[in-house]
Structures are given as structure tokens and as C-alpha cells.
Amino acid sequence: MSKAHEQELVLAAQFPTPQREQWQELIAGVLRKSGRVPADFDGDAAEKIATKTYDDILVQPLYTRTDVAPAAGMPGLPPFVRGSRPEGAVATGWDVRQRHVFADPAAARKAVLADLEHGVTSLWLVVGDAGLSIAALPDVLDEVYLDLAPVVLDAGADFLAAADALLEVHSDKAIPASEVRGNLGADPLGLRARTGSEQDFDGAIQLAVRVSGDFPELRTLVADALPYHQAGGSDAQELGLSIATGVAYLRALTDAGLTVEQAANQVEFRYSATADQFSTIAKFRAARRLWARVLEVSGAPTVPQRQHAVTSPVMMTRRDPWVNMLRTTLACFGAGVGGADAVTVLPFDAAIGLPDDFARRIARNTHAVLLEESKVAGVIDPAGGSYYVERLTDDLANAGWAFFQSIEAAGGLVAALESGLVEQRLGETWAKRSKNLARRKDPLTGISEFPNLTEKLPVRETAPAGPSGGLPQVRLAEAYEELRDLSDAQPQRPKVFLATLGPVAAHTVRGSFAANLFQAGGIETPNAGATTTAAEVADAFAASGTQIACLCGSDKLYEERAADVVQALRAAGAVKILLAGKGDYDGVDGYVHIGCDVLAVLRDTLKTLGVGA
């Protein structure tokens, strides 16, 4: 090898060190060209493109070493920000936990065995009124090696009977008490939030005390944050309410005679994982830090928070449900990178009904791709050290702690639920999110963006109804899907004619924008194509069979042709004429543009067409 090849390869040193000011000027140049700032703008460009979360956390477009965050510590050591175990999940991966809601024992048994044979490592069984009969547990679990595949129960108010039945199954299989793992799933506070009625809190605490003495590896209680997430809550609200739940259980368990360490070992925390991967990563890291702080001041600083991640039910859609595969993949990735101990991927058809074999297969294979092919668990805390992730973790931890303190100041979680404080605060967040959904500032692929009016939805058996009557349960797509259902139910699909002006190149952007907007409500959008005269536009409108038109073209074409086209459309029978863009044009009844209230436009359009009036 020549001496030239023996020399060290130097890359970064060959370029000048970039300065933040240079980056700022480049961004400012883009903003000037787009018209977002004036031509003489010389301010902080980063402020113009920074965004705020629903917890009022400012997310910057660039993070550097100047964005200081508290030291995250080491994996497996307090405050457990970097993970609950020193070795992370490198050797085993996270626990692949599949949820089962089948009421039919035969279907449940078949699904359970199929999942365990193809990569699932623990079972989450919904039993009682909302799922499988408790009496069917022995049959469903007959061929399951419970010492290898732990069971987590979700029995609602029937948790005592379900717990006894599951423990009897373990006894019949001669599994030593020291090897019984899983969780009996008692969560009287979470159930109270879902139902609005008082639950058997004392019974849950007594069960936990009994289990702690007899089954050292088995947990009894779940501090479930999903009721608050499903009511529209933010990440920080989810964190604060979960910690408030955990504190309530901790107090009751220690009052009943357990040590703080024994009490902490009885509780598992359940959080949502969304398609916002960075927020999900930060949330799971922040949650461990918050619970570590609670245990530190309580006298048990070395018990890490046990975490169960569930891909968000709120983000799941009934329309274009196959996109849910992408959403759950991102959510699973975020939860795994964030250090969740167990992860449940909801099947892509979960919002439609009972999942079929294919949907459950895709759900479990999502884990397989991330764990086996992508090696996501092959690095301990892979997001650790990122300026953005560390800053976001700290910001989210502080916001979550502040919300927890507000719940404590109100008298604790039970008092905050009874007074309506929790519902009010969650409702305020949902109102903000709903406004952004309506304006497509929070886009939903396949729903508010790029809808498919010709899709054929899968048909699924209706899933058993879960507990309700307390906090509302929302989904991001529900308002758009209601309009799609309304449109689909008509003998003929409602239509809005796109009066495209000039050559195709002149109307492509606004035409595509308007088509997406109306199709989000199930409204077809026939168009005029490339037209040269107002008469041609009017003739195409008359042939479309609708009463509403929307002009689509450039500002120059609007100035030149809008008046004539509007007049021709009126003569052809148009009762309402909209325009894609903004401006002041005679005869136009309204405008559709970026940032407009899409849902309001869709409802008004359907009403004009006699749909849903």
C-alpha cells in the first residue's frame, strides 16, 4: 500500500466550520422568497419556523450543544431516563404483547396460539363483559406455557374474579408461585375515569397486598393513562395523570402495610405511543424520570417504572385503514427506542371491529421487522445524547410534573375526576387539536389528505363494547369519517365542479388542493380540464350534474377571467361558487384556501347539496 493510501482520511476538517448565523440567513432567504417575511427581514429566522406542542413546548428547528438539559444518567440507574436496565433490551428485545378482545372462546384460543407461535411473548386478554368470559380462561390458556408467556388481564370491574381464575389456571399447571408473572390488571382509578362511577378501590389494594406476599414476580395494578389519551389529552397531561394514579396506589398500598418498594413493584404504567416518534420517545423517557422522583422522595429510589406501550387508539382510522400500518410502525419504533418494557401494536383494523388473522399477523410482524431486521433494540437508548431528544425529554418531564402538581393541589386524582377538572382540562386540549384537524394543520393521510373515494373497506365483526359513561373517547379522524359516511349513504355521490381555468399547468396546484379538500368529505370533484372560454367551463359544469362550482387557477387568470366565468356558471345554474385561494372577486360566495376550516366548508357544501340538512 502506498504512503498516500496510508494517510488518515479527513473529511470535516476540509470544510470551514459553519456558524449559526449562516444557517439563520439561509432560512431567512427561503422565508423571504415564500413571502412569509418581508424582503428586509433580518430577525431570528428560527422563531418563524419553530412550532409549539399542545403542552406549549416550543420545538425549535435546530438544536445544538447550547440547548442544555439535565444529565440523563446511566441506563439502569436512577432517574432511569436512559432505561430501566443496564443492558437495555439488547439481548431479548422488548416484550411483544398482543391484545385479544374475542368473546368467543374458540376464536380466542385459536388467535392466542397463532400469536404465540409467531413471535408474541405475552398476552393481554380482555375478559368479563367487554371480552372473553372469565369461565373460559382455562380452556383458552390450556395449551399456553404460562411460565414462558405471561398474561396481563383487563377485566374492568370483574378484576377479582378474573384474578382468582387466572391464578387457579397457574395452580392447575403446577407453576411455582415464584415463577408466576404478568399483571392481574386491576385499575379502579382508570375504570372510574372511563365509567364515571366509583369502583372497588379497596378490593384492588387488598388483592395487591395478597399477591405481593405470595407471588413476588406478579403485578396487580395498572396505572393506565389511555383513558386520558383517548379523551383528547396531551402528552404532559397523560404523564401527569398517570403519575397521580401511581401516587394514589402507592399511598394506599403503603397504608395497607407494604413497603414503598413492594408497593412500587405492584404497579405497571400504560402509555400511548403515537406516530409522532420523537414525542413518543421523549414521553417514555420522561415518565421514568417522573416516577423515579416520586420513589426517591418516598424512600425507594432504585425501583424503575415498568412500562407498557400501546399504539394510540386515537390515531387509528376506519377509512383507508391500511395507512394505520405505517402509523403503528412509527409508534412501535418510538416506544421501543424510548425504552418501553412491553409494546402492543393494535391491528390496523382495530377501529373497524374485531381484527382478522391478517391484521394480527401484520401487528406482530411490525415488531419482528423492528427487532429482527432493523435491530432497533440492538443499541441501548439509541436516542440518548440527541440535543433535541434530551431537551424534549426535559421539557416534557417538567410539563408533566406541573400537571401532576395541579392534580395534587385539587385534592388528588379522585377529587379532580369528581369535580370535572380532569375532563375540563382534557377537553380544552381536544378543542385545540380539533381546530387544527379542521384546518388540516394536523394532517391525516388518507382522511383529510389524499382520501380515496373508491376504496373498499374491510368488513369486520363488531368488537365487544368497552366501559363507557365517564370521560369521552375520541379519534382524530372521526369528524371527517362522519362526513364520508354521510356522503356514501346518498343514492348518488355529492359533487362539486372544479372550474379549472387555463392550461393544466395553471390550475394544477389549486385544483389538487380543492380536490383533496372536497374529497375529504366524500364529495366527487369533476373538473373542466384545460379550457379557453367561459362558455366551455359552463358547458362542462352543466354536464357535471351538480349545483356548486369552485374556481381553480392562478391569480392572474382570476383577474382576467373570473368575472366572465362566474357569470357563465350562474347562467348554467350554479347556486354557489367558491374560489380556491384568496381575493376580492365579484359574484364569488366564498373561498377555500390553506388554513381554512375544512370541516365547516364541507358541512356547508353538503347542506347546500341537500345532504344532512
Average pLDDT over residues 306-321: 98
CA dist., res. 264 & res. 148, Å (int): 24
- When pLDDT is cut at 50, 70 and 90, the band that residue 460 belongs to is very high
Average pLDDT over residues 299-306: 94
Q: How do 95-100 and 342-344 pair as beta strands?
A: parallel
- When pLDDT is cut at 50, 70 and 90, the band that residue 68 belongs to is confident
Q: What percent of the chain has pLDDT over 90?
A: 86
Q: How do 151-154 and 122-126 pair as beta strands?
A: parallel
Q: 72-117: per-residue pLDDT in tens?
A: 999 999 999 999 999 999 999 999 999 999 999 999 999 999 999 9
CA dist., res. 545 & res. 526, Å (int): 10
- pLDDT of amino acid 156: 95
Average pLDDT over residues 46-50: 87
Here the cell at position 72 is 440523563
- pLDDT of amino acid 506: 62
Contact residues for 397 (Cβ-Cβ < 8 A; gap 6+): 239, 286, 289, 290
Residues 426 and 231 sit within 8 Å (Cβ to Cβ): yes
Here the cell at position 555 is 391569480
Average pLDDT over residues 111-133: 96
DSSP-derived secondary structure for 215-243: -TTEEEEEEE-HHHHTTT--HHHHHHHHH
pLDDT of 400 above 60: yes
Amino acid at 496: V
- What 3-state DSSP class applies to 443? coil
CA dist., res. 514 & res. 524, Å (int): 11
- pLDDT of amino acid 612: 78
- pLDDT of amino acid 41: 84
Q: 358-386: per-residue pLDDT in tens?
A: 999 999 999 999 999 999 999 999 999 99
Q: 174-191: per-residue pLDDT in tens?
A: 999 999 999 999 999 999
pLDDT of 597 above 60: yes
- pLDDT of amino acid 83: 96
pLDDT of 584 above 90: no
Nearest to 320 by CA among 213, 489, 454, 133: 454
Nearest to 549 by CA among 530, 533, 532, 571: 571
pLDDT of 463 above 70: yes
- pLDDT of amino acid 23: 87
How many residues can be counted in the chain? 613
pLDDT of 135 above 90: yes
- What 3-state DSSP class applies to 137? helix
Which has more confidence, 25 or 430? 430
CA dist., res. 537 & res. 499, Å (int): 6
- pLDDT of amino acid 92: 93
